[in-house]
């Protein structure tokens, strides 16, 4: 039986990807590209993340603007897409990144 800690999917940014290899995470950003083989997400910190997306999900991301991606970290620059939430067309990514950094800095003390 898995614990609650096993079910957590932390919200992270590009510099932290390498610390979460083989774990499920959430990444907020803007879709820059979706083609036949992959997608590119501009993350909250401005870094780019390659999204490995199964063909069956490509259409769901086409036309999306700002999203929260849930997926498995493959390496320090790649996330295997599982699902996403469309969060609109006017998101302050700088503010999102500040919240991500603050939540990670105090993780375990306030959460």
Q: Are 86 and 63 in contact (CB under 8 A)?
A: no
Whether pLDDT at 4 is above 70:
no
- pLDDT, residue 62, reads 84
Per-residue pLDDT reduced to its tens digit, 55-101: 888 888 888 899 999 999 999 999 999 999 999 999 999 999 999 99
pLDDT digits (tens, 9 = 90+) for 23-56: 999 999 999 999 888 999 999 999 999 999 988 8
Give the pLDDT score at 109: 60
Q: Taking the domains of the chain in order of start, what are their residue ranges?
A: 8-89
Pairing of strands 66-75, 78-88: antiparallel
> What's the CATH code, domain 8-89?
2.40.50.140
Is the predicted pLDDT of residue 108 greater than 70, yes or no? no
CA dist., res. 75 & res. 65, Å (int): 24
Q: What is the pLDDT of residue 111?
A: 52
Q: What is the pLDDT of residue 78?
A: 98
Give pLDDT tens digits for 10-24. Answer: 999 999 999 999 999
Q: Give yes or no for a contact between 22 and 29, defined as CB atoms under 8 angstroms apart.
A: no
Contact partners, residue 56, CB within 8 Å, separation at least 6: none
57-61, long-range: CB < 8 A, 24+ apart: 57/81, 58/34, 60/84, 61/31, 61/34
């Amino acid at each position: 039986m898995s614990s609650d800690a096993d079910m957590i999917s932390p919200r992270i940014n590009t510099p932290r990807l390498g610390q979460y290899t083989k774990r499920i995470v959430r990444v907020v950003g803007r879709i820059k590209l979706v083609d036949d083989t992959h997608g590119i997400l501009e993350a909250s910190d401005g870094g780019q993340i390659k999204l490995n997306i199964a063909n069956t999900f490509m259409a769901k991301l086409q036309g999306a603007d700002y999203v929260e991606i849930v997926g498995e970290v493959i390496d320090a620059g790649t996330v295997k897409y599982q699902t996403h939430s469309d969060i609109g067309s006017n998101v302050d990514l700088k503010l999102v990144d500040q919240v991500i950094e603050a939540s990670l800095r105090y993780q375990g003390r306030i959460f």
